[in-house]
Each structure stands twice: as C-alpha cells, then as structure tokens.
Amino acid sequence: MVTSAGPLRVGILGAGGIAVASYGVLPNLHHYADTVEVVALADVDQARAAAVAEQYGIPRVHATVEELVAAGGLDAVVNLTPIPAHYATSKVVLEHDLHLVTEKPIAATLAEADELIMLAERRGRVIVSAPPDLLRAPIKKARDLVAGGEIGRVAFARVHSSHQGPGGGPGGWPSDPTWFYQRGSGPLLDMGVYGIHQITGILGPARRVVAFSGITDPVRVVRGGPFAGLEIDVTADDNTLFLLDFGGSTYAVVDGNYNLHASRSPRLELFGRRGVINLGVPDGPELEVFKTDLLPGVDGWVDPSRPLASDASRAGVGRAIIVGHLADIVLNGAPNELGADHARHALEIMLAVETSAREGRIVELRTTFRSPTDQP
C-alpha cells in the first residue's frame, strides 16, 4: 500500500499501441506528473521496450511481468498486454500486492474475473479497468440526465460500438493486426466492450441478452500501411449484434463488429418517454437533448448557448486518464468509477452474447454492480 502522499510509482506492462499511440498512456502521463511516476517498463520485445523506455525516460526495462514485479519499487502496474494475456499477467500483479490498472476485458472467463476480484479484496488492492468512458463528461452528463428523469423513463437505446477493423482503413495498421481477428480476441472484446460499459454505466446492470454473431469474410486483407496486402484468416466472429434487457421494458441494441466504415448516426441514442439523448453526434455536439413540451405544446431540441457537455479529456489526456484515476483513488480516496465489478458484468454480457448467438437462445445474467445512479 502507498504510504506517502505520492506520486504513485507505476510499472507499464506492454509497449504496444495503447502504450505509445498519441492517445495512449505514455504520451499523456505528463499531465499527472504530480501523482504518477513511471519507474519501469516490461515487454517481451526487448528492443522495442528499450527504445520506448529511452524515449520516455523510464529507468528500468524488463522482459516479463515476473521480472517487473520482482524488481520492486512499485505501487501499481498498468497492464497493457493483448486481450488473451490479461488474466494471467494481472494475477501476477495482484499476488505481489500491487494496485492494478488493466485494459479491457478484465479476463476471459467469469471464474478468472472472480479470482482477480477476490485476490484484490483479500490484499486490499484496487483494480481500475478500462475502458475509461465513464470518466468522460458527456457520459456522466447523460447518466445524470437519465437519473434525474429529464427524458422520462427510457424505453430503448441504440449503441454503435464498432469500426472498420484494424487494417480495414486506407491507412492500414502500424503493427501486424492478425491477432485482432483470431479466436480469443475479435471485435466483441475489442470494441463491443465500449458500448456495453457506456450503456450499463447509464442504465445500470442488464438482466438478459440475445444475440446474432458470425464471420462476414473468412479472409481479411490489410488495405494500407506497413502490412498492406497481408491476408488474415479470420477465426473470431467479426459481425455481432445483440439486445440487452434491463427489465421494466427497457432495451438496448448494441453492435460490436469490424464492418462499420462510416456512420452518420450518433454513437449512442437514448429514447425516453419524454425525450431523447444523443451522444457522439457526427460533426455535431458530443451531447444533445430533445424534450417534449420544451414549451407548452412544443417539442424540440434543446439549443443551449454553450455545449451541454464536452470531452476535453479525450484529446487532452487520452488513455492516461485511467492511470490518473487510480492515483486519485489510492492517494486521495476518490470513488472508483471503473471498478472490477462493472468490468466483470461487461465480461459476462460478452460471454452471454457468444452463448446466445451459438445456441440461439436468451441468456440470463447473474452478475451485477453498483450503478453510479444507485443510492448508498
């Protein structure tokens, strides 16, 4: 446990895209220089790790998570490994009494997620799990508007949680994107998790799932960049659509696929009995509201003199926001907005999506989490 006022001494596990991209962790951690200090970096690619460490002035470089934690001098580890490695590496971190920031999903099975959560609880450690969306101002504002009844009872929602796939755009991908399309990864775990966190963060835990899922093209070809022309055998479903039942006749339809080249629809739409909330309007506001009886007998879009909510953090601090959030929790006692129980619920939804699509049935959910709108 951290005993000083700070900064939180962290090790970065993984030197790939999320670590070094312009929106990633390392390029933006300077915003948290008062509360976070990066003292070590580990990656199986030693040459890459050494180059990244030199670029960002990180004093120690290791080859494995075991070496990283055994060397000591850490309060926390930021786990930026690929999806299939999350559980095993996070377990090592928690077993060494360190706080954990982990990329999504938290694990591959509910049993693994339960084990990590129990391990953290026994050792008095904090788990913060990506994605960071619930820290963003527009999501928080939408959640507060729904909780305050501004659009009445929510009847249904539509959520886009997809893109064209790594390598699917004209610019290609900076590294070999093959693993994204392999069984154990795929767009549901890579992208669907964002929509799941957003809608459950606003509406609370879901109760049931029904889904359709499959592979659109058995082979993908990288369109540009250093891997242009690379042919990828697709073994993970790349086209998934699912429906969440929140109880009380409140539903949400969510897509999680690698087939969305463009869209003119908002990223998330909430339809209530007395209004509508849109999030992420293309070429428009980050949040907009439509209300019935805006004036007596007149329905319309709210036209504020300034934005209802804007997300400066996305461009300003990028993915580093989740590391800063851990520091705020540990050093200042802030509430955990990205808790492991929510990450476990999102994982159960994704596993239920796979089961529903495979078996053609509705799947009941058993996990829950404390919704931000719940009263203590």
Decide the pairing of beta strands 99-102 and 127-129: parallel
User: How far is residue 104's CA from residue 82's CA, in Å, rounded to a whole number?
Assistant: 9
CB atoms within 10 A of CB 4: 9
The predicted structure's pLDDT at residue 3: 42
Instruction: Give how far Cα 299 sits from Cα of 105, 156, 270, 292, Å.
Output: 41, 19, 16, 4
What is the token pair recorded at 73?
A: 């001098």
Q: Cα angle vertex 246, ends 334, 270, to 5°?
A: 80
User: How far is residue 172's CA from residue 137's CA, in Å, rounded to a whole number?
Assistant: 31
DSSP assigned state of 153: S
Residues 6+ apart with CB under 8 A from 290: 151, 275, 276, 277, 278, 299, 300, 301, 302
The predicted structure's pLDDT at residue 304: 87
What is the token pair recorded at 285?
A: 């506001």
Closest CA to 318 of 16, 119, 100, 27: 27
Q: Which helix (H) or strand (E) holds 185?
A: none
Do 237 and 166 touch, CB atoms closer than 8 A? Answer: no
The predicted structure's pLDDT at residue 95: 97
- Tokens 């026994």, residue located: 122
User: How far is residue 242's CA from residue 210's CA, in Å, rounded to a whole number?
Assistant: 6
Q: Which residues of the chain have pLDDT under 70?
A: 1-5, 312-315, 371-376
Report how far apart the first and last C-alpha atoms of the chain are (Å, whole number). 26
The predicted structure's pLDDT at residue 368: 96
Secondary structure (DSSP) of 304-332? -SS-S---HHHHHTGGGHHHHHHHHHHHH
**Radius of gyration, CA atoms only, the chain:** 21
